[in-house]
Amino acid sequence: MTRKAAIIGGGVIGGGWAARFLLNGWDVAIFDPDPEAKRKIGEVIDGARRSLPALYDRALPPEGSLSFHDGLDDAVAGANWVQESVPERLDLKHKVLAKLDQAAPVDAIIGSSTSGFKPSQLTAQGARAIVAHPFNPVYLLPLVELVGDRDQCAKADSILRDIGMRPLTLRKEIDAHIADRLLEAVWRECLWLVTDGIATTEEIDDAIRMGFGLRWAQMGIFETYRVAGGEAGMKHFMEQFGPALSWPWTKLMDVPEFTPELVDLIATQSDRQSGQMSIRQLERLRDDNLVGILRALRRNQAGAGKVIADHEAGFPPLPHSDQLIETVHRVVPSSWTDYNGHMNEAHYLEIGTQATDRMMEIVGAGPDYIARGKSYFTVENHISYLAEAKEGATLRVTTQVLAGEGKKMHLFHRIQNGETLVATMETMLLHVDLDSRRSCPPEGEVAEALAQLATRHTALPRPDQAGRHVGQRA
Ligand SMILES: NC(=O)C1=CN([C@@H]2O[C@H](COP(=O)(O)OP(=O)(O)OC[C@H]3O[C@@H](n4cnc5c(N)ncnc54)[C@H](O)[C@@H]3O)[C@@H](O)[C@H]2O)C=CC1
Ligand SMILES: C[N+](C)(C)CC(=O)CC(=O)[O-]
């Protein structure tokens, strides 16, 4: 089914929304009067293309189509989702939302990216809209705060989960929703620390990134403080640090005056800190680091990492084709490439291992079977590197069972980029009892499923590379 998102205002946030929808298979139509919009959005989408697929072990759906429009009416025609991301001015939001209300299909969700306005303010002149407040970069960070009409928010929740996001619906509307209230409090305190000459912008950033910032990504604040209470837990933590809340640790109630001197001071310090890098270079660095953090969180099914794992679990099953089984379909992330500008040899093993894991699931030796105490161990791998694979290439692995009798599972993985065979990996596995750590025959159902596949696959031509040793010519 084709789904279309209309993005009204394609700056930092609108560009991020466009990338999030597009890379999840939606058609995206953009209206932004800025003559530079196409170039700027193109750069944001390029950044998303090199980072978002790296979060997944499976390929995202094929990209939708991207179009730019001279008028708002044209952009929203036939849209299922309309996202307003114009500058944060209430008069402008009212003007744009009134037009959207008229032009958008009646069943389209109209979301506003507003960081601070409440839905009652946005809809005060009669236009329909909910708040759908995302976080920068929208294509990588899952959180979206939803505020407004319950039914619309529920519908929005389901759509946003489908594009890999984590909607958080607010119980009540409030200025600046939840997250920006927290950010504002920290931001205000940071400005005081600079104004009062206590710390520079860089020292404050170090105070965050070398310490509590690392904890917040995985545990938030309450869980972090629970752990900080030691064995006595949260209650002890509250008793110990509660009194400090009324000591003069913060100046949160006051805002430092934004004098030209303060603005200059902060801008100069910030230039000294990061001015040697362009914004695009900083974005690239930020995205690479976010991918690394999110991948680590995903391994432990923690926080935003679980959102990604859950999203991927909903992808449609891989098709069986060529009589062989498609075991992997994924994009080469930039983090897999090396100093030679192509996929590093170690990741051929990684992709082959993913194919083996998938084959174990297919024969019934997946996570449940392993939890019962049986599994397969790899005893030998042979990889033949046949062609280069570059960042962004979509690789497809098909697996042939060469033998599957007794304790042995003998597999042959073909790793292809389109029609090009980029590598093969031959793998021998032995079935083991995880208690005794000794090999043993698989349980009946696994043995049978494997034997059936082996019978089907040994009727197919045996791969040329099977049984190769190092140094043998192709
Ligand atoms: N920048 C951030 O970190 C975040 C911003 N937001 C919210 O997103 C919204 C947009 O902010 P940014 O993307 O940062 O601003 P921006 O200044 O980067 O982009 C705004 C875009 O809107 C376009 N525009 C202006 N008038 C328009 C109109 N009448 N119709 C269509 N397009 C129009 C401009 O040409 C510009 O490209 C604001 O409501 C902001 O509060 C939300 C989350 C984070
Ligand atoms: C600064 N800001 C208020 C626009 C920030 C946000 O709204 C969310 C974010 O991405 O930090």
Handedness of CA 189, 275, 391, 345 (dihedral sign): negative
Q: Sketch the domain layout of the chain as residue ranges.
A: 4-177, 180-276, 325-457
64 touches 28 (CB < 8 A): yes
**Residue identifier of the C-alpha nearest atom 9 of ligand 2:** 135
CA of 156 to the centre of ligand 1 (A): 20
Q: Please name the residue whose Cα sits nearest to atom 25 of ligand 1.
A: 86
What span, in angstroms and rounded, lies between the C-alpha atoms of 38 and 10?
Answer: 8
Which atom of ligand 2 lies closest to the CA of 141?
Answer: 10
What share of the chain in percent tops pLDDT 70?
98
Of 12, 13, 136, the residue with max ligand 2 atoms within 8 A of its CB, to mutate for a pocket test, comes to: 136
| Phi and psi angles of residue 386, each rounded to the nearest 5 degrees, phi first | -115, -30
Packing angle, helices 279-299 and 303-313, rounded to 10: 80
Q: What is the CA radius of gyration of the chain?
A: 27
Atom of ligand 2 nearest to the CA of 136: 10
| pLDDT tier, 321 (very low <50, low <70, confident <90, very high otherwise) | low
Pocket flag, ligand 1, residue 178 (CB < 6 Å)? no
Among 10-14, 41-45, 252-256, 405-409, where is mean pLDDT lowest?
A: 252-256
**Concatenated DSSP letters for 263-281?**
HHHHHHHHHHHHTTS-HHH
As assigned by CATH, the class of the 180-276 domain is: mainly alpha
Going by alpha carbons, the residue nearest to atom 3 of ligand 1 is: 136
Q: How far is the CA of 111 from the centre of ligand 1 (A)?
A: 13
| Ligand 1 and 131: CB distance under 6 A | no
Whole-complex ipTM: 0.97
| CATH 3.10.129.10 is the classification of domain 325-457 | yes
What's the pLDDT score for residue 473?
65
CA–CA separation, 411 vs 401, rounded Å? Answer: 5
Which amino acid residue places its CA nearest to atom 3 of ligand 2? Answer: 115
Q: Count of alpha carbons within 13 Å of 179, Cβ hemisphere only?
A: 17
Assign 250 a pLDDT band (cuts: 50, 70, 90): confident
Q: Which two tokens stand for residue 224?
A: 């972090």
Which of 73, 85, 92 is the pocket-test mutation for ligand 1 (most atoms within 8 Å of CB)? 85
Element (H, E) at 262: helix 260-274
143 lines ligand 1 (CB under 6 A): no
Cα 93 to ligand 2 centre (Å): 17
Ligand 2 centroid distance, CA of 45 (Å): 19
Q: Considering only residues 227 and 438, tell me which one the structure prediction assigns the higher pLDDT.
A: 438
Torsion of CA 403, 406, 407, 413, to 10 degrees: 10
The pLDDT score that the predictor gives to residue 320 is 60
What does the alpha-carbon distance between residue 153 and residue 306 come to, in Å, rounded to a whole number? Answer: 22
Q: Which residues are 435's β-sheet partners?
A: none
Within 8 A by CB and 6+ apart from 137, the residues are 16, 44, 47, 48, 51, 283, 286, 287, 290
Q: What are the backbone angles phi and psi of residue 387, rounded to the nearest 5°? A: -155, 165
Residue type at 443 in one-letter notation: E
Q: Residue 359, class by beta-carbon neighbours within 10 Å (0-12 exposed, 13-18 middle, 19+ buried)?
A: buried
What single-letter amino acid sits at 135? F
- How much is the pLDDT for 274? 79
- Taking CA atoms only, the protein residue closest to ligand 2 atom 2 is 115
pTM: 0.84
From the annotation, which residues make up the binding site for NAD(+)?
Answer: 9-14
Reference 224, options 296, 162, 279, 302; nearest CA is 302
| Cα separations in angstroms, 165 against 43, 44, 158, 306, 310 | 22, 18, 10, 11, 10
The residues, ordered by sequence, that sit 6+ positions from 452 with a Cβ below 8 Å of its Cβ are none
For residues 69 and 306, is the Cβ–Cβ distance under 8 A?
A: no
Cβ(102)–Cβ(128) below 8 Å: no
The pair phi, psi for residue 144, each rounded to 5°, is: -135, 125
Distance 146 CA to ligand 1 centre (A): 18
> Which residues are annotated binding-site positions?
9-14
**Mutational pocket test of ligand 2: of 114, 183, 187, the residue with most ligand atoms within 8 Å of the beta carbon:** 183
> Nearest 5°: phi and psi at 194?
-75, -50
Highest mean pLDDT among 49-53, 441-445, 460-464 belongs to: 441-445
For residue 16, give the amino acid letter: G
Tokens encoding 132: 């759908």
Separation of CA 371 and ligand 2 centre (Å): 43
What number does the ligand 1 atom closest to the CA of 96 have?
29
> What is the bridge-based pairing of β-strands 320-321 and 324-331?
antiparallel
Spatial separation of the C-alpha atoms in residues 311 and 205, rounded to whole Å: 32
What number is the average pLDDT over the span 151-174?
97
What CATH number was assigned to the domain covering residues 4-177? 3.40.50.720
Ligand 1 lined by 279 (C-beta under 6 Å): no
Query: 364, exposed or middle or buried, with CB in 10 Å at 0-12, 13-18, 19+?
Result: middle
- Tokens representing 321 are 């084709």
Q: CA 410 to CA 249: how far, in whole Å? A: 64
Q: Which residues line ligand 2 (CB under 6 A)?
A: 115, 135-136, 180, 183
- Cα(130) to centroid(ligand 1), Å: 16
In the predicted model, what is the mean pLDDT of residues 237-241?
79
Q: Which residue's alpha carbon is at the smallest distance from atom 23 of ligand 1? A: 9
* Nearest one of 115, 1, 101 to 61, comparing CA atoms: 1
From the number of C-beta atoms within 10 Å of its C-beta (0-12, 13-18, 19+), residue 215 rates as middle
Å from CA of 86 to ligand 1 middle: 4
Ligand 2 mean position, distance from CA 186 (Å): 12
**277-290 residue pLDDT tens:** 888 888 888 888 88
